[in-house]
Every structure is written in structure tokens, then in C-alpha cells.
Amino acid sequence: MKPKVLLVNPPIYDFTAYDFWLKPYGLLRVAARLRSAAKLSLFDALDRNHPTFDPQGKIHTDAWGRGSYPNKRIVKPACFKDIPRYYRRFGISRAVFQDFLSKHGPFDAVMIQTALTYWYLGVQEVIEDVRRFCPQARIVLGGFYATACTDHAKALGADVVIGGNDLTWHGHLARVVGNRFDHGLEDRATEFQLPAWQLYPKLDVGVMTLTQGCPFRCSYCYVPQSGVGFSARPLEQCLAELEQLISLGVKNIAFYDDALLFQPDKILMPFLQTVIEKNLNVNFHTPNALHARFLTAGIAKLMVRAGFKTFYLGFESRSQDFHEQTGSGKVVSDELANAVRNLRAAGADRRHITAYEMLGHPKADVQQLELSMRFASSLGIQIMLSDFSPIPGTPDGDLCRSIVDLSEPLNHNKTAFPVRFLGTETVNYYKDLCKTLNRHIKG
């Protein structure tokens, strides 16, 4: 009999949370390699299509598949006593997950996706419930928190904590469950398998990547520390994933690439040309910051023709000093302006072109944030403040050790750190300014 393996995408514990095309892509890619050897189940606490997600129909989902989560105000952890914000649990209720475990268990193994380091309280909740309802199950953690804070993750009580990319999960899980898995499982670990999207009963939003890694070494980003070099995925694999998602009814697809526009001739351009030739009807989105200096007129035309609807451009500062000090591969003013012109000429809706601006960076003294915000707004596009999170192991994260104790991942929180570094009044000033500047391009 095949072992029963449960995949879990945990709830979120945070001050704020919004469904910005969040899907457990890495977990589903791992699950794909286990399909032939295990009986798989999925519980995604953030699934907008789950029947208990919004039973009263009060939560709005926009045209692109985004929206808020059901949430409950809870007591703030003690380390946040200085933060004047409410703390909440976001996602499907804990009672629903407990009921799922009691009805569908027992499970031989439970694989838990981890995301942001300061969301670990949701992971801890899942571990507690699995131990209570499926005490015999072996628990495996993987993902970003497990990679960036491995020692801390081990203290939560899982049986195995796996750092690294999704490929490294495979052999570990085979050994955790033991000889009940097919002995050839590890040998197939590197074979391409379509992500296990079929585990969702209903699916209208999906995610994918065309590349992995990033060629740049921004000092505030963890990717350079991961050791994953930039490379393009094989075109046939990317197209197969796209066609799979469309066949399952997906209308909106977000790209999780860190450098989608880099060396576009290797994968992006042939991918877009194929989408256009096949006349595939799907909306594409770019929640990760695009390197706008690579957004040429030709690329912009292809993206718009292929169905890209939202464009998020990295523009952390118009200060050349800031870019030099952070090693940023993001754009300066002229490059942002040129990218916006190219997108507008290609037919992109200016209301769906957004420049990310970083709030609370430890080098705020050279960032020129307000000038940068006003410049981006002058181009007729939206601004989104990207609150800084001090990630341990990154140069800029380590600059913050005198401000917060980074050994506690809750202190990496992107809402809390800017308040502690800049003060509530300054943070509120920039957030109000952002709303004011965006107001003129609404409607």
C-alpha cells in the first residue's frame, strides 16, 4: 500500500496579509515527484476556492484573482509590544484543518511549505495539530524559512528540516517514510514532472517560472546567498506547465522569477512568441520586481500581446549612491521612464504599471525616498511601498543587528522593522504620501 502524504500550506500570522497570487509552487513541484510512490492530499489554508474560505461571500476577489484573507485578531507576541498595529491570523480557520486531519488521516508523512521567516507561527500551529491528530506522522519542513533559519525551524518539532531548493526535498522524504516508497524514487528526483496542481479541486490562479536564480547581487536580497546561479528553464517544460494550468481552468498566472527579463532571448521571447502563435487566452502578472532596464520596446510589445496585464517594476531609489552601495541591479530614473514609455506605447494600462519603492531600508539617508516616489508618480504610474525586511545572512539585514535581534524571526517582520527604524510618524507620512500620489491615476 502506498504511504499517505499530506501537503500543507500554513495560515499566516502577521499584521497584514493579502493574496498577491500566493501559491505553494515549490511544494507542488516536490509533490509531483512523489505522485507515483505515494497517495497525496493537499490542505492549503490560503485557498480562495476552498468551500470554507468565505462561506458568507463577504471577501472581495478582484479581476486578477487577488484579494484579502479571512482573518481573526489575536494577541500580539510579546516582542511586538512596541508596534502600534493589530496582529492577526489569516486563512481558513484552525478548526477546519483539525477536522480535515481527523477525517482524512492518519498520514504517514506531512510536508509543510514555509515562506517568510516571520510567518513561522503558522507553521508551528500546523505542527501542533498534526502531532495531536496524526501522532504517527513524520513531519518535513521545506521552503524559505527552513532554509534561511534552519536552526530556528528545527526547534519547532518537525522530524526533518530541509534547506535549499525544492529538489533537495526529494531524497529526504523518501528516507523519512522509508522503504514504503518505491526504491527508484530518488533516481527520478531530477526528472521533470508537472507540478501537482490537480490536487486543487478548483483552480483559477496559478504560478510558474521561466528561470531560476538571479545574476545580480543586491545586498538586501537573499537570492545571492542561496548559491543558485541564474539559468533559463527548458522551453518545453515551461510550455507544458502553462498548458497544464490552462487545461485546469486557470485564468491568471503570476511569474515568480527573480530576473524574468534577463537574457530574454534564452527563454522569455520564445515563450511569448509561442503563446502568441497559439493564441492562448490567459492573463499574466509579474509580482516580483522586473528589471526595467531590460524592458525594451520589443519586449514590451511581446509581453502585452501575449497577455501580460500587470507590471511591477523595481525602483528602490533614484539615488545613484544608493544603487552603488547596495549593488542593486534595479533601475535609475531614465531607465524607469524609458520602460514606462515602452509599456505605454505597447498598449499597457498605466493603472496596472507599478513602481516598487523600499520603505525602511537601513541606508535610508542616501535613498531619497520621497524624491523617488514623486518621480515615479510623475510618470503616471502607481507606486507601491515595499516595506524592508532584515533577512539574516544578507549584508543589509546584518546592518540591522544593532536595531533588532535577528535570531528571533518575528523581528524580520516588514511591518515592524520600518516602524522601529524610522518611527511611526515617518512611516505614516510615507504611506499617506503614497496614497495621495496614487490618487490621480485611479479610475
Give the span between the Cα atoms of 381 and 308, in whole angstroms: 16
What digits encode the pLDDT tens for the residues 35-62?
888 999 999 999 999 999 999 889 999 9
Residue 85: which CATH number? 3.40.50.2300
H-helix or E-strand spanning residue 246 = helix 235-247
- At 144, the pLDDT band (50, 70, 90 cuts) reads very high
Q: Is the predicted pLDDT of residue 175 greater than 80, yes or no?
A: no
Q: Is the predicted pLDDT of residue 188 greater than 60, yes or no?
A: no
Q: Is the predicted pLDDT of residue 167 greater than 90, yes or no?
A: no
Residue 273: which CATH number? 3.20.20.70
Domain extent, residue 32, equals 4-188
Helices of type H across 40-93: none
What digits encode the pLDDT tens for the residues 76-134?
999 999 999 999 999 999 999 999 999 998 999 999 999 999 999 999 999 999 999 99
Residues 6+ apart with CB under 8 A from 190: 167
Considering the chain, what is the average pLDDT of its residues? 91
Among 179-193, 227-241, 244-258, the least confident range: 179-193
The pLDDT value given to residue 330: 52
Which among 166, 165, 160 is positioned nearest to 30, based on CA atoms? 166
Residue 179 and residue 215 in one domain: no
Residue 150 and residue 272 in one domain: no
Q: Is the predicted pLDDT of residue 207 greater than 70, yes or no?
A: yes
Which among 361, 355, 427, 359 is positioned nearest to 394, based on CA atoms? 361
Residue 282 and residue 391 in one domain: yes
Which amino acid, residue 282? V
The pLDDT value given to residue 187: 47
Q: Are 340 and 331 in contact (CB under 8 A)?
A: no
The pLDDT value given to residue 223: 86
Angle between helices 369-378 and 333-346 (to 10 degrees): 30
What digits encode the pLDDT tens for the residues 359-410?
999 998 888 999 999 999 999 999 999 999 999 989 999 999 999 999 999 9
- At 189, the pLDDT band (50, 70, 90 cuts) reads low
Percentage of the chain beyond pLDDT 90 is: 80
The pLDDT value given to residue 284: 98
In a domain, 241, yes or no: yes
- Which of 188, 221, 248 is a domain's end point? 188
Strands (E), 82-175: 87-90, 109-114, 138-143, 160-162
Residue 339 and residue 372 in one domain: yes
